[in-house]
Structure 1
Amino acid sequence: MADDPRRHTAAARPTGASGWQPPEHEIEPAYHPVQITRADGSWAVGRINAWWRPAGAQAWCRVRTMGRGEAPAWMPFDPDRLLLLPATGI
């Protein structure tokens, strides 16, 4: 059985909890382009397509990497890994 991130404190939640999703009624749809910095120092362009903001804990976002065929994944929002890009033109 997959580990449920809701059972952990914000600091101890597992990253990349594949297959897990927060309660549907708590998900906020979004469309925000991001630059994703990977652990190996490489980067990719993607988008945040949903937010989950549990009370009193760190915000999580569902991120889809563009052009790589990867499934969207929930992860804690970390501004060191996810650089928000402009969503609209000038």
Structure 2
Amino acid sequence: MVESPSGPESAAESVDGVESVDPADREVRWVCQPVEVDLGDGTWALGRISGWWQDPAGRDWCRLRVVRGAGPAGWRPFDPERVRLLPDSGL
């Protein structure tokens, strides 16, 4: 792995103006959380968060995949204004 400011266990790079991370598995809380994602054009799409990670600065990151053909899952800073958590079971 590439050494980064957060240590040798994580790699970081910039993708589309957002720093991308690759945390070590032991730092990740793996989940299967359904979400709605704001696509930025006034529409929302279903997606899934498969992992949560917190960087050394305390910022929450989620491994997000949008169902509707938006490419592979990737780590993004969690923004509750753009990603709505949905119930993962019945009421």
Segments of 5+ residues of structure 2 without an aligned counterpart are 8-16
Alignment of 1:38-53 (within 5 A): 38-53=39-54
Could you tell me whether the CA contact under 8 Å between 1:16 and 1:73 is conserved in 2? no
Cα deviation code 1:51-81 (max 9, x no counterpart):
0023441110000111416100111111000
In angstroms, what is the RMSD of aligned CA positions? 2.4
- 3-state DSSP class of the match of 2:36? strand
TM-score by length of 1: 0.73
Runs of 4+ in 1 over 6 A off after TM superposition: none
Report how many residues are paired. 80
Structure 1 residues 24 and 35: CA distance shift in structure 2, 3 A: same
| Corresponding residue for residue 29 of structure 1 | 30
Structure with higher RCO (Cα < 8 A, 6+ apart): 1
Of Structure 1 and Structure 2, which has the larger fraction of its residues in strand? Answer: 2
Segments of 5+ residues of structure 1 without an aligned counterpart are 8-13
Q: Percent identity?
A: 35
TM-score by length of 2: 0.73
Supply the AA of the counterpart residue of 2:88. A
